[in-house]
Amino acid sequence: MSEAVTHFKDLCSPIWNLYSVRSLLYWDQQVLMPSGGGGARANQIAALEKVCHGMLTDTKFKDSLQRAEEAAGEDIDKRYLRSARRAYDLASKLPSRLVEERARATSLAVEAWVEAKKNNDFKHFLPHLRTVFDLTREVAEHKGYAEHPYDALIDEYEPGMTTKKIDSLFGGILPPLVQLVQGIAAARPISRKILQQPFGFEGQHEFSRYLLEQIGFDFNRGRLDQSAHPFCASSTSSDVRMTDRLDEWLVTMSIFGSLHEGGHGLYEQGYPAEWNSTPLGGGCSLGIHESQSRMWENFVGRSLPFWKAHFPKMRSIFPQQLWGYGPEDMFRAVNYVEPSFIRVEADEVTYTLHIVMRYELERDMITKALDPADLPDAWNEKMQKTLGVRPPTDALGCLQDIHWSDGLIGYFPTYSIGNVVAAQLWNKIGKDLPDLESEITRGNNLGLLDWLRKNLHRYGSSVLPEEAIFEATGGEELDHRPFVDYLWDKFSRLYEIQRP
């Protein structure tokens, strides 16, 4: 390694260590911080963002980066520098004042959102929502874009993605998806009686932790807590913190919330420890990240082999509720399809419809085609049109997600990208691991995890998303068709319907 590269890495180390501290502050705010600490925490996070931004955009950093790029010889150093260059280019476009102001505004907005959701009080959240979108719109203008301001935002989470590409992706998914929803609606419903009863919180937490251990999550390097909205916050691969949400009458929320965040957690625990607090740590994009969470949540967690393996454990925790039931009953119940209000509780088939409506709403608020004050009505109308249901309250409607309060605008499409990538990976995994179904039935998920470690996790953010897909699938580009085929194959058999 050249002296120039070594010197540059020394400059990077404190910056990415401070970003790790920021992740811990965010986790603490959602899990442990007393309710009165919001204002002080907002100032702390804003100050930290300002310091990091100043260090990242300093002339000394820029000059050292350029010298390192000229001297780099090893491929891994070039990848390190590519990630650092992207971070510098994005940061250098934003004034320090905007970075600090947005960090403070989103921290305060999260606190306001928690209170607004709890009290079903959109008016309490509205000024914060307006501020976040105003500042995010300003971010888009500073970053610049070729065709649409939303392009500048989604690129932050999914490098290379654009509004036009998202529209094309959804254009390929929605027609066959709508046909499937219509076919299921006309079919004989499957029973979910097994789930329509109370399950205690202590038992839910025990079972969620058990499942995370079974899929390979290392609790020596992570933990599971509760929060208003499930999330995964990783400071390093050795400190990965997840949360879930418990509801006595909705045990699937904790089960699939934990598996979803567990997929994120496994990805974060899978890159080399020496990449901690460097530009190479973490995942290469949010779409690739979501492919891991959606795979473990749905492709694995909602499969019959999975429930054959783990239903006995659940029945031992909840013997009264599950007496007389078997794994097939649970498998069918967790694949019940019905349009619903809450995205994180949605079934596999209707989930993408939730994503499409959020994408359209936030895109319109960025272009000012929709005023934030009109969001509740616009949300309800779009949900009625898209899913055929109308939320009775804003808490069940436009206040249900944390993302906009947190400034994660441009994030929602990555959930659908994740579904698509998960299906492509699943096809390749099936070819490489022909005994996978039998292994999952026996409760052995480590073969699958090992495949993911070797073919995806170990690369961290040293690759671009299109490179990750190409390498892991054996030469494919992003393609919605395997996802559509997966849904039709699974649910046409469950509901005994024919694909047109």
Q: List active site positions.
A: 261
DSSP lists the bridge partners of residue 240 as 222, 234
Distance CA(258)–CA(232), nearest Å, equals 10
The end-to-end CA distance of the chain, in Å, is 59
- Name the token pair of 179: 């046909």
- Give the other-Cβ count within 10 Å of 365's Cβ: 23
Count of alpha carbons within 13 angstroms of residue 50, beta-carbon side: 13
**What b/e sequence results for 176-206 when a residue is b if at least 16 CB atoms lie within 10 Å of its CB, and e otherwise?**
bbeebbebbeeeeebebebbeeebeeebbbb
Alpha carbon distance 409, 127 (integer Å): 17
Distance of CA 252 to the CA centre of its chain: 18
> Residue 284: which residues within 8 A CB-CB, separation 6 or more?
159, 459, 460, 461, 462, 463, 464, 465, 467, 468
Q: How far apart are CA 59 and CA 64, in angstroms?
A: 8
* Range list of H helices, 120-250: 122-143, 149-157, 163-186, 201-214
Half-sphere exposure of 145 (CA within 13 A, CB side): 21
CB 65 within 8 A of CB 84: yes
